[in-house]
């Protein structure tokens, strides 16, 4: 059996039409890297046929692996399960809608093969090219400001769904990260900084999906998550 060098994880929940494009496009782009890879579909309780679509692809291509959950686990838990199953020395993930184009993937992988422990895409650096609605832009900037202020993070963009890790780094962090859903992306970066891991931010192009919208309840949940992590890091562990 050939040694897997790169593991790619795509988290999926009712993303049939996005996945229909993402799987063949990912395979095409990954083949150009000239590295042995596996593509893991972290399918999380979908009811729209995403599981069956991934199953058909997995039967056609042994490099594709489906990890299915009958019940919704949450984005964070689905990613954590997939990372534990991944075999590559570099583990990457990106969202099924390919909001960040895969042309940035070589930069992420090269950062990890170099001296970085974690690489994360950023929509807020010089050279970034992000296009989204004004409400989404304002909410994202406010959220990242609060994370930097309250959690003392030095990262510009915590929620970009385009990240890569050294295998040993993410396996060490998984049991420390408690978030089960969207806050997982932020918590892994905050805890990574606390452990002294080298994190590279890479400017990326990003386009908002058609069905992406900011809901008031999302802002409440994410704000609570910031304060809850601050409590864990500064009060409860004492």
Residues 165-182, buried b or exposed e (16+ Cβ, 10 A)?
A: bbbebbebbbeebebebb
The catalytic position among 97, 175, 185, 218 is 185
CA distance 121 to 111: 11
Which residues make Cβ contacts (< 8 Å) with residue 138, sequence separation at least 6? none
The answer to whether residues 119 and 125 touch, using CB atoms and an 8 Å cutoff, is no
The answer to whether residues 45 and 129 touch, using CB atoms and an 8 Å cutoff, is no
Q: Is 97 a catalytic residue?
A: no
Where does the chain show beta strands of DSSP type E?
Answer: 6-12, 37-44, 64-69, 90-94, 118-122, 129-131, 162-166, 199-203, 205-207
What phi and psi, each to the nearest 5 degrees, are found at residue 218? -65, -45
Residue 140, both tokens: 């994202």
- Which residues are tagged catalytic? 185
């Amino acid at each position: 059996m050939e040694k897997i060098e790169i593991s790619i994880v795509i988290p999926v929940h009712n993303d049939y039409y996005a996945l229909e494009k993402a799987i063949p496009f990912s395979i095409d782009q990954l083949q150009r890297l000239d590295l042995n890879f596996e593509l893991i579909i972290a399918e999380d309780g979908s009811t729209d046929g995403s599981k069956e679509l991934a199953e058909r692809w997995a039967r056609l291509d042994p490099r594709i692996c489906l990890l299915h959950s009958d019940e919704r686990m949450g984005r964070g838990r689905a990613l954590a399960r997939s990372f534990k199953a991944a075999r590559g020395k570099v583990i990457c993930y990106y969202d099924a809608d390919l909001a960040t184009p895969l042309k940035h993937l070589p930069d992420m992988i090269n950062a990890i093969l170099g001296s970085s422990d974690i690489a994360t895409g950023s929509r807020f650096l010089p050279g970034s090219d992000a296009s989204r609605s004004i409400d989404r832009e304002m909410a994202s900037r406010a959220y990242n400001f609060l994370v930097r202020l309250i959690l003392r993070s030095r990262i510009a963009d915590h929620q970009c769904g385009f990240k890569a890790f050294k295998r040993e780094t993410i396996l060490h962090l998984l049991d420390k990260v408690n978030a089960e859903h969207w806050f997982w992306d932020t918590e892994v970066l905050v805890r990574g900084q606390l452990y002294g891991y080298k994190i590279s931010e890479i400017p990326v192009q990003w386009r908002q999906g058609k069905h992406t919208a900011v809901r008031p309840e999302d802002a409440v949940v994410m704000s609570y998550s910031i304060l809850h992590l601050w409590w864990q890091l500064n009060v409860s562990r004492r």
